[in-house]
């Protein structure tokens, strides 16, 4: 008997983590999928770049154990996270004597691991520990829900968080998770991230995961192999300039190919431009929401030293004090992740607009001086070479009560995916992260599949 299912043809535009996740999900469900990526390398804002004859990432990334969809798809794509990712317990560790704190969650069941870490934390006074305990108890009581959104600063003030906690724990966490300064960041989204990591019933959800492989190799390249193995096509260096809806409900791309449905998985800026070209008033709301999003930059400064240079830990938090030209917020020892990168340090600056204005030379030198000072290692003031990569539109600014488009664009057969999209449930709103991108890709693919099935059902 012939298979009654007709194979649907889907296009996914954009080969970042959202597009790769969408293409994999469609291929897994047995659909014919073509993934278009404008760049030669897959991965979008989390991708491999080559500088100084070294394979780097466009920005140092950190994942969380709570990134369940990302980890699921990495495995589905045939990759072994245990081999490709360094898993560390939740921690906020500053170099000794740098005026920071030392907080490491032990391998105990949740939430005991946090209580124990707090008890043992160095650099925090009793008042700081009590304030932190009160905060986490209150969040549990509130079931991690905030009915009226406000800024993270207002939330911390409401729960009497101390200056030390704000400076050493909450501000760096907020910047790392939301890439938006606490004075402008959404408390609701911040609480969602805390709920899924600190507040999770599984201790592993709060683990910090640092990729050892380059970001494209970790997932997008493997996703492309999976799509090809399932009969799909992946086209790199293939920018889609226009899409057009046809009278029969299908879509045509500017290369002349026809598809039953299209998932636009680009950044919000690029998606708004593509959707405007469709010239359909039903898209106006999504386009308006995309255009209203503002962006924040992230800079990563790579500093190469002699191969013998090694830090005591794979990564440290750094006291961020722009008034003293101390711009770095975290430093990673790439040599502990990949033996081929011995002596390479990566320093991250989130919400880096002002820092990036200093220019490459002065900023890299200021960071080298900061490292030498914070780690008490004068030799770090003189790297062999530095590379500064600033992604000006790294993420959307995650401000309170943000209105974000969903996966449905408003026009049948045209779906949206990307870290900027959001579902109906505000408890699931995530900042612009890899996990948000992957979840959106999977959700858009499922909606696309269901939409076409429903459309084909007899009335």
Compare residues 69 and 128 and give the one whose CB is closer to ligand FAD. Answer: 69
Question: Counting contacts by CB under 6 A, is residue 95 touching ligand FAD?
Answer: no
Binding mask 206-245 for ligand FAD (x = CB under 6 A): ---------------------------------xx-----
- Which residues, numbered 248-287, are part of the site for ligand FAD (CB under 6 A)? 265-267, 270, 274
Tell me whether strands 330-333 and 243-245 are parallel, antiparallel or unpaired: unpaired
| Residue of the chain from 11, 12, 18, 301 that contacts ligand FAD (CB under 6 A) | 18
Of 219, 224, 193, nearest to 208 by C-alpha is 193
| Residue of the chain from 61, 93, 113, 184 that contacts ligand FAD (CB under 6 A) | 61
Compare residues 2 and 279 and give the one whose CB is closer to ligand FAD. Answer: 279
Q: Enter the tokens of residue 253.
A: 């791309």
Compare residues 12 and 366 and give the one whose CB is closer to ligand FAD. Answer: 12
Compare residues 132 and 287 and give the one whose CB is closer to ligand FAD. Answer: 287
CB of 14 to ligand FAD, least distance (A): 3
| Residue of the chain from 56, 121, 208, 298 that contacts ligand FAD (CB under 6 A) | 298
**Distance separating alpha carbons of residues 261 and 164, to the nearest angstrom:** 52
| Range in contact with ligand FAD (rule: CB under 6 A) among 43-51, 324-332, 333-341, 368-376 | 43-51
Question: Counting contacts by CB under 6 A, is residue 391 touching ligand FAD?
Answer: yes
**Distance separating alpha carbons of residues 47 and 82, to the nearest angstrom:** 20
Q: Enter the tokens of residue 393.
A: 């539109």
CB of 257 to ligand FAD, least distance (A): 13
Strand runs (DSSP E) across 279-418, as ranges? 295-304, 315-317, 330-333, 344-350, 385-396, 414-416
327 Cβ contact list (under 8 Å, min separation 6): 320, 349, 352, 355, 358, 363, 366, 367, 370
Question: Counting contacts by CB under 6 A, is residue 434 touching ligand FAD?
Answer: yes
CB of 236 to ligand FAD, least distance (A): 9
Tell me whether strands 91-93 and 261-264 are parallel, antiparallel or unpaired: unpaired
**Distance separating alpha carbons of residues 393 and 371, to the nearest angstrom:** 26
Q: How many residues bind ligand FAD (CB under 6 A)?
A: 38
| Residue of the chain from 395, 400, 402, 439 that contacts ligand FAD (CB under 6 A) | 395
Q: Enter the tokens of residue 80.
A: 């072994």
| Residue of the chain from 193, 290, 432, 444 that contacts ligand FAD (CB under 6 A) | 432
Question: Counting contacts by CB under 6 A, is residue 37 touching ligand FAD?
Answer: yes
Question: Counting contacts by CB under 6 A, is residue 394 touching ligand FAD?
Answer: yes
Of 49, 45, 50, 23, nearest to 36 by C-alpha is 23
Size (the chain), residues:
459
**Distance separating alpha carbons of residues 447 and 443, to the nearest angstrom:** 6
CB of 146 to ligand FAD, least distance (A): 22
CB 292 within 8 A of CB 170: no
Compare residues 103 and 302 and give the one whose CB is closer to ligand FAD. Answer: 302
**Distance separating alpha carbons of residues 401 and 420, to the nearest angstrom:** 14
| Residue of the chain from 62, 86, 130, 133 that contacts ligand FAD (CB under 6 A) | 62
Compare residues 300 and 358 and give the one whose CB is closer to ligand FAD. Answer: 300
Q: Enter the tokens of residue 348.
A: 């991250």
| Residue of the chain from 11, 27, 46, 218 that contacts ligand FAD (CB under 6 A) | 46
How many CB atoms neighbour CB 154 within 10 A?
14
Compare residues 262 and 437 and give the one whose CB is closer to ligand FAD. Answer: 437
DSSP state of 323: G
CB of 104 to ligand FAD, least distance (A): 19
Q: Concatenated DSSP letters for 1-46?
A: ----PPPPEEEEE--BHHHHHHHHHHHHTT-EEEEEESSSSTBTTS
Compare residues 39 and 200 and give the one whose CB is closer to ligand FAD. Answer: 39
Compare residues 135 and 396 and give the one whose CB is closer to ligand FAD. Answer: 396
**Residue 211 parent element (H or E):** strand 208-211
Give the three-class secondary structure for 364: helix
Question: Counting contacts by CB under 6 A, is residue 437 touching ligand FAD?
Answer: yes
**Distance separating alpha carbons of residues 187 and 204, to the nearest angstrom:** 24
Compare residues 180 and 395 and give the one whose CB is closer to ligand FAD. Answer: 395
Contacting residues toward ligand FAD, per CB under 6 A: 13-19, 36-39, 44-46, 58-59, 61-63, 239-240, 265-267, 270, 274, 298, 300, 391, 394-395, 418-419, 432-435, 437
């Amino acid at each position: 008997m012939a298979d009654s299912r007709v194979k649907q043809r889907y296009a996914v535009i954009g080969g970042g983590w959202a597009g790769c996740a969408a293409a994999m999900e469609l291929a897994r469900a047995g659909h014919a999928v073509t993934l278009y990526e404008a760049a030669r390398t897959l991965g979008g804002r989390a991708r491999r770049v080559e500088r100084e004859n070294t394979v780097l990432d466009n920005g140092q990334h950190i994942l969380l154990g709570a990134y369940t969809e990302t980890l699921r798809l990495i495995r589905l794509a045939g990759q072994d996270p245990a081999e490709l990712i360094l898993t560390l317990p939740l921690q906020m560790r500053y170099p000794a004597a740098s005026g920071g704190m030392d907080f490491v969650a032990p391998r105990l069941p949740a939430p005991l691991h946090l209580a124990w870490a707090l008890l043992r934390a160095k650099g925090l006074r009793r008042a700081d520990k009590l304030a932190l305990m009160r905060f986490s108890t209150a969040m549990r009581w509130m079931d991690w829900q905030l009915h009226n959104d406000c800024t993270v600063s207002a939330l911390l003030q409401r729960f009497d968080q101390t200056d030390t906690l704000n400076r050493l724990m909450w501000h760096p966490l907020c910047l790392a998770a939301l890439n938006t300064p606490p004075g402008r960041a959404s408390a609701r989204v911040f609480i969602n991230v805390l709920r899924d990591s600190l507040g999770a019933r599984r201790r592993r959800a709060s683990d910090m995961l640092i990729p050892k492989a380059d970001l494209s190799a970790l997932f997008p390249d493997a996703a492309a192999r999976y799509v090809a193995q399932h009969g799909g096509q992946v086209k790199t260096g293939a920018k889609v300039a226009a899409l057009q809806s046809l009278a029969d409900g299908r879509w045509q791309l500017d290369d002349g190919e026809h598809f039953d449905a299209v998932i636009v998985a680009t950044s919000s800026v690029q998606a708004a431009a593509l959707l405007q070209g469709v010239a359909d008033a039903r898209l106006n709301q999504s386009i308006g929401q995309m255009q209203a999003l503002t962006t924040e930059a992230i800079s990563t400064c790579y500093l190469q030293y002699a191969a013998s240079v090694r830090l005591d830990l794979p990564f440290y938090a750094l006291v961020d004090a722009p008034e003293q030209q101390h711009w770095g917020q975290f430093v990673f020892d790439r040599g502990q992740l990949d033996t081929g990168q011995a002596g390479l340090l990566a320093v991250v600056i989130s919400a880096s607009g002002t820092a990036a204005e200093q220019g490459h030379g002065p900023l890299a030198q200021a960071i080298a001086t900061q490292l030498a000072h914070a780690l008490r290692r004068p030799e770090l003031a003189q790297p062999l070479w530095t590379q500064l990569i600033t992604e000006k539109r790294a993420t959307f600014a995650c401000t309170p009560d943000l209105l974000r488009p969903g996966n449905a664009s408003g026009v049948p057969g045209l779906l949206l995916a990307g870290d900027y999209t959001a579902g109906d449930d505000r408890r699931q709103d995530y900042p612009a992260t890899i996990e948000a991108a992957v979840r959106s890709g999977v959700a858009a693919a499922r909606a696309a599949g269901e939409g076409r099935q429903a459309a084909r059902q007899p009335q």
